[in-house]
Every structure is written in C-alpha cells, then in structure tokens.
Amino acid sequence: KQWYQRRVRGDEAMEELERLKDNISAALHLTYSEVLVQRAWLIHWGLFVYFNHPQGRDSIIDVFLHQKPYLNAVQTMCPHILRYITTAVVISKRRRDGIKELIKVLQQESYKDPITEFVESLYVNFNFDEAQAKLKECKTVIENDFFIVGCLDEFTENARLIISEIFCRIHQRIEIDMLADNLNMEPAEAEKWVVNMIRLAHLDAKIDSKNGYVVMGGTSVPVYQKLIDKTKDLHLKANSCCQKIDKKLTLGI
C-alpha cells in the first residue's frame, strides 16, 4: 500500500512538472531572460522528482537533453546539471538514444566532473585506463550527491557494461584476464560478465574458454583502419583540389 501511495504521488509530481513546463512556455508576458530563469528553476526542482520516479531517468534525457529550450537553459544557466544528464544516460536502458547528443554537448562545455569525464574518456578518447580511474572517482562523487546516491550500484554496473562493450567493439580478440583487470573482477566472474554483455549488446562474439579469449566475429574493419582509410581519402582529395587550383592559375582563369 505504501509503495502504491508513493507511486501515485510520484506520478502526480510528474504531471505537475509537465503543467509547469506548459505554463512557462505559455507565459508570453515574460522576457527571454525571465523564461530562461524559470526553466532553470524547474530543472533544479525537477531533480527531486525525476530521480525518485521509475521513468524519471528517461524523462531527464527527453527534457534536459533532447528539448532545445531546456538544454539551452542547462548550457546557459546551470552546466553542473550535465552531471545528472550524464548519469541518466549511463543508467538508462535507452542509452543509445542519448549518448551521441550527450557527447556533442560535453565537448562544447567547459564544465567537467568525474562522471562527465568518464563518458568522454570512453566515447571520445577511447582511453580505458583513464576510464577506470574516473570510474573510481565517480563512486566518491555519487556517494556524496543527494540526488544520485541511490544510483551507485546501477551506475557502476552499467559503466562496466559500457567499458566492456566498447573494448570488445574495437578489438578482434581480447584476453579474458586483461578484461577482468579492466573490470576489477576475477577471471571466472569476468567470463560470466562477458557472456551476459554479449547477449545484452547483441555482439557477434564467442568465448574461447580453453585459451581464455573473447573472439569477435564478422569481417568488420577495425576502427583504427577506418580512420587510416578516411585519412588517405582526404589526402587524395586535397591533392586533387590543389592540382585543379594550380591548373586554373596557370591558365589564368
């Protein structure tokens, strides 16, 4: 009964937030700056609701990241809210819906903390050692943050999943012992983890338990090779453009 009452109150709070959003949008007598301030207040008060509702994390992504007026308010008035947007993206089952947009936003902003840096170290720098170090710092940050302290286990679990998924996607063969070190796990535990990760991420991979490897399937070109090929293409296109310009200058066109 108590759970039901809390859920009803949570649903009512979500509905009130939606009404407040509508009222702010309809307040034509307010100046642009005043609307910006009102949206910033709603963002901060909304954290109390969103992190205490089952669908709240997805709502954070939908409102704060995907709705331009609120993303603009975050970037202009309260960039520290990027911590909560990043946390929501990491623990959301809809992570792929928000990660590309989040990366673009993080690269535009000067605000940094261990949670945002963890995501950048993986998706921008592909630096797994840095990601592991940042993940340890994330634990301290989350434990001392009122809004996300209850998300610690979920964040850690999903962060490990992201690390292992990206690591597997950019390598053709991975030692389970090395992956276990990256995940701070025993090799046997890491092997079970990888099996579950392959299933959840729909990766084309298999476990070679005898030799202690994860072997990626398919004939996809590695990321670094794609980068080399694109660089070669750019070089050829640049040379072609230079030759055309030289030819026009020679002809006096």
Least confident range of 34-43, 102-111, 242-251: 242-251
The rounded distance, in Å, linking the Cα atoms of 157 and 101 is 22
Q: Is the pLDDT of residue 117 over 60?
A: yes
| Residues 179, 167 contacting (CB under 8 angstroms) | yes
Q: How far apart are CA 168 and CA 175, in angstroms?
A: 10
User: Could you give the CA distance from residue 171 to residue 217 in angstroms, rounded to a whole number?
Assistant: 10
Report pLDDT digits (tens) over 221-230: 455 555 555 5
Contacts of 36 (CB under 8 A, 6+ apart): 72, 73, 76, 77
For residue 106, give the nearest of 91, 92, 126, 85 by alpha carbon: 85
Closest to 39 measured CA to CA, from 18, 23, 58, 24: 24
d(CA 8, CA 52): 12
- Cα distances (angstroms) measured from residue 179 to each of 8, 52, 171, 218: 43, 34, 12, 21
| Position 33 confidence tier, pLDDT thresholds 50, 70, 90 | very high
**134 neighbors 121 (Cβ within 8 angstroms):** yes
What is the per-residue pLDDT across 176-212, written as a single tens digit (0 to 9) for each?
888 787 777 888 888 887 788 777 777 777 888 888 8
Could you tell me the CA-to-CA distances from 164 to 23, 32, 110, 192, 232 in Å, in that order? 44, 44, 28, 12, 30
The string of pLDDT tens digits covering residues 157-168 is 899 888 888 877
Give Cβ neighbours of residue 201 (< 8 Å, ≥ 6 apart): 161, 165, 168
Instruction: Dump pLDDT digits (tens) for 57-82.
Output: 899 999 999 999 999 999 999 999 99
